[in-house]
Chain A
């Protein structure tokens, strides 16, 4: 191990790479020059520290855990220390000697039909995000939902999910959720509210409801929409406003501009060969239909078959940009210019696109040529945050390219009330200020926190201009505080309802558990307002569908809809609309001064608009590009940071039109110059124990006129520093002897076709016999488990990480512990950056690669031979077992693991006390305690279950039954929307995993160490346009 000599003389450093702030941009730059000058070919790096070859990086590379992770960090008094030491001396070695406490066993009084204790059941339901339904299958153990899976038969899921759905199980059991009806700070009963609201409602009846305003988030539920429309029939003068901070106003307005009517756009990526994304992040959670789009996109990215090509023009680095074959970083305001230039070019006129930068021009010409040669199999898609005109241009381009009806479809909007939401809430505030509102009902949402800053919704609520304010929500949040009545809403996993998926298909939402805190659903709440006091959610939803069902035998129809997870015949048929010709009025945002700094406001990749603030799984999930946990930051490119003389973690003040926000900087490669990005959702005041006061609140910078981007931002250095917990610098892997054997391997399609073995040639794997240990005859076993991860398919969506946390009872450790590298994720996604050799000049625009790294289940596992107590052993099927109850916490194993996939419980990270979490955990997996090592097990609980089931069936039926390929899936595999993770029996040559491993792209991570990992990777193949090489 060689350390830079400078380090030896250096004094003790802070523990976290992000805390250090020592990143020397000059050396980064020098290093970049070096790389590009030498043209050394692909070189991959994970952080700017690594690129700069810093001493901190060198040291981190050789450490078992990040520096400081193994040190005692809490301040402790001398007396406390002696007590602890005394106790541990006295009890050393006695921890295993406990007498089991007596345990009660509580049977049913009347056991429900079909319930078999010990066997989970699965129910089809759905969850909504921004109104769009995510079809799900939920695993239930004796009435307790424990794990979310995608509904594999539903076209919007095909088995995949997104991170928000995966994490919703924690959201449901959240002990900080509102637990009762509250009025002016006092706990009240639902009955008390029912009688309190009766008077105001009947007073409004005489006024035809002129003083009533209802504010909801986007609603796609046919039942709820029907109820609200009924309510408006009873109170004809009342108004229904819709507002959600992350809304699709621009998409709607763009459709209106192009077609004169609001339509929903649906894409078919399975038929698209050339995709042009105008800043659309369609491969990440939150984009409607993303789960299906990822599946189709990844399927069409087969280097041995159809290989699509993705161009993206991007304002903020996203995972979609990382998957693109050509990525152009541009400020948001300039993308409109790009779009209209593309439209001009495509209409045949080469004039009118002058003035564009030369590199942009090159991309434009290439994109245009590529699009034109792919009539009907191309696709242009615009990002939700872009001005309507960009959407209109995309529609016009798709029409011109003949994509409509092939890769692009138009349908009715799924939104039951497709109004402009910023206008809608503006009208509401106007009415309130004019004193027209007597009763304001807010159903879901948190406008006091997330409404546009220019409306100052919180002050409007506070001003008592509305005499009666009612809030129905999951949390007693910022809005609930300012309303006289707060009704505790039930979680979607606790209620009856329905919702539409991105293609219009309705799923019935069925409850998995009775409301934990006697909450009411939106459907029940609106029923009360309409005078149906005691109606249950079940009756209301069922009654609505009974009305809709024309045919006979409603019961069979209803049961089938519940069982399948969707209602037959509700998918929206494509609608034929004609685009008005291409002359759209340019928005004025495109003319921003060239050196004015642009502010971009985006939803947070992990906690969305703030509604998931109190979800520890999502807070601790490293955001895909920055790997930040627990915080938002101000993203800017290296050039700009250089100019402003700021580094990551420096706190700066942003000022836009007099509004100020302070937050830490994060330098992110790939970010366009003269532009910064901030993320919403943080800086909550009343989120709960997890989310309150994390990060900074960016909403004050957001106005209804410029909700997504604005020009003229001022940045001032404050001189302060802030600790950011990024996992990007952790778990670095070392290649032995400093050899050049890349961990991610990739090639362009042309190179791959020339030399399909490129991935294997970049490394070397010793022959199987080269070991001192006697090889175990795995071939003779019935099963030998293995995994193949296709880097070409992986889109870095983080889904596998949350699925793993949910399945394996993985603890949340908190920001402080994350910052010192003690996070517990069993599977991590490493992001590597690289300057493609031929495009090395584009220094702020490196390519990015994702590599999910779970335990590699080495056949020659280095961890096993060093365990002094035999707590990690090999199974006959090739699994590297971890036996928690034997582990004494020496951590020798993780010290010897070259992949750094072992996680240690430095403290008691599991919450053993909170009753809700006891219900939440997977009963088939041990809950680990302090001082125990843990790691990926290939979901051995699922393997055991399937093995036992097939073996009992074999004996009972008197013939050999084996686990069928694809029947047994690990949690990460099952949730993966891209099908990038394939697990199975490698002793079966016909299994999918064997076939993948037989491909020429297959390689082992650090295979030269002769660890013989069971998890292997398929190298990435990109498809750059050969025209753009020069």
Chain B
């Protein structure tokens, strides 16, 4: 009785088994990459907005403080999206005829809210609180990126759990003095540009951060990495 399979079947089956490992691994890698890619996370994606509001112009150009519009950032979980009235404080005086601003004026006239698209979006099972981060020395641009250089707003980071935990596990890497939280041009300390806190000069971020963890009574890593810190 002749052999059913040709000798080459041996090679073929070895290659298939060996190859399958790579194919599965490759699929896994592709899946992982997609999951972390801007396609899923929206990092760096400019979402459609009713008015092409430029943070670059208002923050860097005009020097308006973050808190002029995001009023509840220091007191509430939610930083606050300015009501139409806030826009009209200035735009009832300047650029009153700009076509771009028509949706704002229409909203003010009709009493219908503007419908923005949320840029920094977390899943519903994550409960983030702005006030505690701002109070403990996490700068706006640590998470939101160089907002003052964004003509159109986009999300800087992936906002995935891994990214959050990076800071919750080592908060000293990111803290800055509280008076610098809203400073978009803040630079972490270097030997060329030391940062002075309570009369002490720091040239290294970890040294500064460790001092600030103590000063601001940041809770233990075990505490701020407890699940219920963000999930409830």
A937 & B82 in contact (Cβ 8 Å cutoff):
no
Q: Does B154 contact A (CB under 8 A)?
A: no
B226 partner, pick from A103, A782, A877, A924, beta carbons under 8 A? A877
Identify which of residues 1-40 in chain B touch chain A, using a CB-to-CB cut-off of 8 Å: 31, 35, 39-40
A955 & B227 in contact (Cβ 8 Å cutoff):
no
A106 & B116 in contact (Cβ 8 Å cutoff):
yes
Q: Does A960 contact B (CB under 8 A)?
A: yes
Q: Which of A106, A874, A927 has the most CB of B within 10 A?
A: A106
A781 vs B129: C-alpha distance when bound (angstroms) = 22
B39 & A99 in contact (Cβ 8 Å cutoff):
yes
Q: Does B151 contact A (CB under 8 A)?
A: no
Given contacts A106-B114, A111-B85, contact A118 B72 (CB under 8 A): yes
Given contacts A948-B132, A951-B217, contact A100 B42 (CB under 8 A): yes
A954 partner, pick from B42, B76, B217, beta carbons under 8 A? B217
Q: Which residues of B contact A883 (CB under 8 A)?
A: 227, 231
B227 & A104 in contact (Cβ 8 Å cutoff):
no
B227 & A952 in contact (Cβ 8 Å cutoff):
no
B125 & A926 in contact (Cβ 8 Å cutoff):
yes
| Nearest-Cβ distance from residue B162 to partner chain A, whole angstroms | 13
B83 & A111 in contact (Cβ 8 Å cutoff):
yes
B127 & A924 in contact (Cβ 8 Å cutoff):
yes
B121 partner, pick from A100, A881, A952, beta carbons under 8 A? A100
**Interface 1/0s, chain A 914-955, versus B by CB < 8 A?**
000000000011110000000001001101100010011011
A960 vs B215: C-alpha distance when bound (angstroms) = 11
Q: Does A876 contact B (CB under 8 A)?
A: yes
Q: Does A116 contact B (CB under 8 A)?
A: yes
Q: Which residues of A contact B74 (CB under 8 A)?
A: 952
Q: Does B187 contact A (CB under 8 A)?
A: no
| Nearest-Cβ distance from residue A781 to partner chain B, whole angstroms | 7
A1021 vs B131: C-alpha distance when bound (angstroms) = 47
Q: Does B200 contact A (CB under 8 A)?
A: no
B229 & A105 in contact (Cβ 8 Å cutoff):
no
A943 vs B82: C-alpha distance when bound (angstroms) = 29
| Nearest-Cβ distance from residue B103 to partner chain A, whole angstroms | 12
B72 & A116 in contact (Cβ 8 Å cutoff):
yes
Q: Which of B31, B39, B82, B113 has the most CB of A within 10 A?
A: B113
A875 partner, pick from B31, B42, B123, B228, beta carbons under 8 A? B228
B47 & A881 in contact (Cβ 8 Å cutoff):
no
Q: Which residues of B contact A884 (CB under 8 A)?
A: 125, 231
| Nearest-Cβ distance from residue A932 to partner chain B, whole angstroms | 10
Q: Does A956 contact B (CB under 8 A)?
A: yes
B47 & A102 in contact (Cβ 8 Å cutoff):
yes
A103 & B118 in contact (Cβ 8 Å cutoff):
yes
B116 & A105 in contact (Cβ 8 Å cutoff):
yes
**Interface 1/0s, chain B 192-232, versus A by CB < 8 A?**
00000000000000000000000011011011001111011
Q: Which residues of A contact B80 (CB under 8 A)?
A: 107, 116-118
Q: Does A109 contact B (CB under 8 A)?
A: yes
A944 & B228 in contact (Cβ 8 Å cutoff):
yes
Q: Does B108 contact A (CB under 8 A)?
A: yes
Q: Which of B74, B84, B125 has the most CB of A within 10 A?
A: B125
Q: Which residues of B contact A940 (CB under 8 A)?
A: 228, 232
**Interface 1/0s, chain B 86-117, versus A by CB < 8 A?**
00000000000000000000011001111111
CB nearest neighbor in B for A107: B81
A100 vs B136: C-alpha distance when bound (angstroms) = 29
B interface residue count range (under 10 / 10 to 19 / 20 to 34 / 35 or more):
35 or more
A877 & B227 in contact (Cβ 8 Å cutoff):
no
Q: Which residues of A contact B82 (CB under 8 A)?
A: 107
A927 vs B232: C-alpha distance when bound (angstroms) = 10
Given contacts A105-B118, A109-B84, A109-B111, contact A881 B123 (CB under 8 A): no
Q: Which residues of B contact A116 (CB under 8 A)?
A: 72, 75-76, 80
Identify which of residues 79-125 in chain A touch chain B, using a CB-to-CB cut-off of 8 Å: 97, 99-100, 102-111, 116-119
Q: Which of A877, A924, A943, A951 has the most CB of B within 10 A?
A: A951
Q: Does B56 contact A (CB under 8 A)?
A: no
Q: Which residues of B contact A110 (CB under 8 A)?
A: 83-85
A924 & B132 in contact (Cβ 8 Å cutoff):
no
Q: Which residues of B contact A100 (CB under 8 A)?
A: 42, 121, 123
Q: Does A885 contact B (CB under 8 A)?
A: yes
B40 partner, pick from A99, A102, A108, A955, beta carbons under 8 A? A99
Q: Which residues of B contact A117 (CB under 8 A)?
A: 72, 76, 78, 80-81
A71 vs B115: C-alpha distance when bound (angstroms) = 46
A926 partner, pick from B114, B116, B219, B231, beta carbons under 8 A? B231
Given contacts A116-B75, A924-B127, contact A109 B227 (CB under 8 A): no
| Nearest-Cβ distance from residue A447 to partner chain B, whole angstroms | 43
Q: Which residues of B contact A956 (CB under 8 A)?
A: 135
Q: Which residues of A contact B35 (CB under 8 A)?
A: 97
B220 partner, pick from A108, A118, A876, A943, beta carbons under 8 A? A876
Tell me the dominant secondary structure on chain B's binding face: loop
Q: Does B179 contact A (CB under 8 A)?
A: no
Q: Which of B78, B82, B216, B220 has the most CB of A within 10 A?
A: B78
Q: Which of B42, B107, B114 has the most CB of A within 10 A?
A: B114
CB nearest neighbor in A for B122: A100
Given contacts A105-B81, A117-B76, A118-B76, contact A876 B118 (CB under 8 A): no
Q: Which residues of B contact A119 (CB under 8 A)?
A: 72, 75-77
Q: Does A879 contact B (CB under 8 A)?
A: yes
A873 & B78 in contact (Cβ 8 Å cutoff):
no
A407 vs B222: C-alpha distance when bound (angstroms) = 54
Identify which of residues 836-875 in chain A touch chain B, using a CB-to-CB cut-off of 8 Å: 873-875
B136 & A955 in contact (Cβ 8 Å cutoff):
yes
Q: Which residues of A contact B118 (CB under 8 A)?
A: 102-105
Q: Does B178 contact A (CB under 8 A)?
A: yes
A99 vs B37: C-alpha distance when bound (angstroms) = 11
Q: Which residues of B contact A111 (CB under 8 A)?
A: 83, 85
| Nearest-Cβ distance from residue A928 to partner chain B, whole angstroms | 9
Given contacts A102-B117, A117-B78, contact A108 B135 (CB under 8 A): no
A876 vs B219: C-alpha distance when bound (angstroms) = 11
A944 & B217 in contact (Cβ 8 Å cutoff):
no
Q: Which residues of A contact B111 (CB under 8 A)?
A: 109
CB nearest neighbor in B for A808: B232
Q: Which residues of A contact B47 (CB under 8 A)?
A: 102
B113 & A109 in contact (Cβ 8 Å cutoff):
yes
**Interface 1/0s, chain A 197-208, versus B by CB < 8 A?**
000000000000
Q: Which of B74, B124, B136, B232 has the most CB of A within 10 A?
A: B232
B117 & A885 in contact (Cβ 8 Å cutoff):
no
| Nearest-Cβ distance from residue A894 to partner chain B, whole angstroms | 18
A107 vs B107: C-alpha distance when bound (angstroms) = 11
A99 vs B34: C-alpha distance when bound (angstroms) = 10
Q: Which residues of A contact B84 (CB under 8 A)?
A: 107-110
CB nearest neighbor in A for B112: A109
| Nearest-Cβ distance from residue B37 to partner chain A, whole angstroms | 10
B78 & A885 in contact (Cβ 8 Å cutoff):
no
Q: Which residues of B contact A944 (CB under 8 A)?
A: 127, 129, 228-229, 232
A875 & B124 in contact (Cβ 8 Å cutoff):
no
A874 vs B223: C-alpha distance when bound (angstroms) = 10
A109 & B83 in contact (Cβ 8 Å cutoff):
yes
Q: Which residues of B contact A879 (CB under 8 A)?
A: 226, 228
Give the 7 A-B CB pairs with smallest separation, nearest first: A118-B78, A875-B226, A118-B76, A108-B83, A107-B81, A881-B227, A118-B77
B residues engaging A (CB < 8 A)? Answer: 31, 35, 39-40, 42, 47, 72, 74-78, 80-85, 107-108, 111-118, 121, 123-125, 127, 129, 131-132, 135-136, 178, 216-217, 219-220, 222-223, 226-229, 231-232
Q: List 14 A-B contacts (CB under 8 A).
A: A103-B117, A104-B116, A104-B117, A105-B117, A106-B114, A109-B112, A875-B223, A877-B226, A883-B227, A940-B232, A943-B228, A951-B136, A952-B74, A955-B178
Taking A105-B115, A885-B125 as given, write out 19 further A-B residue pairs in contact, using a Cβ cutoff of 8 Å, ordered by the A residue number: A104-B115, A104-B118, A105-B117, A106-B116, A107-B114, A109-B85, A109-B111, A111-B85, A116-B72, A117-B72, A117-B78, A118-B77, A874-B226, A927-B124, A940-B232, A951-B136, A952-B75, A954-B217, A956-B135
